[in-house]
Amino acid sequence: MSTSHDTRVADALLAWYDIHGRKNLPWQHPRTPWRVWVSEIMLQQTQVRTVIPYFERFIERFPDVTALAGAEEDEVLALWSGLGYYSRARNLYRAAILVCEEFQGHIPRDVKVLATLPGIGASTAAAIASQAFGHQTAILDANVRRVLARVFEVSDASQTVETRALQTLADACMPATRCADYTQAIMDLGASCCTARNPDCRHCPLQSMCGALQNNTRHLYPQKRLKKKLPTVASKFLLITHPDAQEVYLEKRSSDGVWKGLWCFPSLDPHVSVVSFINESFKWPAITLLPFQTLRHTFSHYHLEMDVILVKTPCDVLPEHLKGRWFNLEQALNVGLPKPIQQLLHTFFHPGACPHSMM
């Protein structure tokens, strides 16, 4: 594995970035440590175009780390609703509190200290340090892995060995100056030219030094890992409506399992009787059940088949032991909601919707 192209990689990328790179992303103007940090957390496993509106709303409400640290978690999760991977929001919130308590509200400049904060691993810490503080710290996200693996033809059956080799190359290619621009440039290249499928090698600034292009082995890099077939889990979700049909019942999920800390419809195993559950939990004598929707939502480790059942009741009194309450649409959108629940609420409350139809 040759590293003779290291200087050429940086020079070529920066020249390409000056013409083609993304220079008007909202976290670049102004480029503050806080804005860079928030953007990097949001960009974990999420595309730029999806992140931008969420970032803008989040920064408008929380313009600095102190503002986030002083907020309630429900409000933080509400602004994150729909973006997914909610542990990112909870970790960002925890880290903001930690920065205010341990560092007097000053975001650490040391990459090793950054990496110890909740939700910030080595690559995210490197991205923050390079883009916010101009440090010579190389990132290794999915885009960068793909670029370097193809240019230097790096592959190993052991993902640990492969990662170590790619990180060594990433460090070697990182220039001493224009660190923020270089970091953005290599991420942009992976997102635009050196894509996982159908890479645009003709317009790539690294084509003359790319081993995978020269040897026609682009499809081999990075090495594909066998993906396990995701199991499917079925569950009933109860959309319980207030007698006036202007409110629905939501309960906050526990701190364990999926969607922890978010507000959601009550959920049951498929074999559990809805009537029995309502009688035992709500003590309501009469209810009407109607099919509402069936949804399929995919998590990283399984598919969730959601059988959503509309529950109409003449009662509005909630027993004290319940951990939920009535919400109208406006109230519900101001707390943390999983994206499927958010969509279901819009369907239910939207004028002209046909909630009884199966979709």
Sign of the CA dihedral with 117 first, then 120, 123, and 125 last: negative
Q: How many CB atoms within 10 Å of residue 24?
A: 7
Closest CA to 184 of 40, 32, 51: 40
The CA angle 182-184-185, to the nearest 5 degrees, is 60
DSSP 306: E
Q: How many CB atoms within 10 Å of residue 354?
A: 8
Say how far apart CA 334 and CA 351 lie, in whole Å: 20
Angle at which helix 73-80 crosses helix 48-61, to 10 degrees, equals 150
Q: CA dist 85 to 119, 153, 185, 295, 334, Å?
A: 11, 32, 26, 19, 18
| Both tokens assigned to 255 | 């701190």
Q: CA dist 171 to 138, 185, 239, 346, Å?
A: 5, 15, 52, 47
**Residues, the chain:** 359
* Residue 247 annotated among the catalytic residues of the structure: no
Q: Any idea which residues carry the catalytic annotation?
A: 40
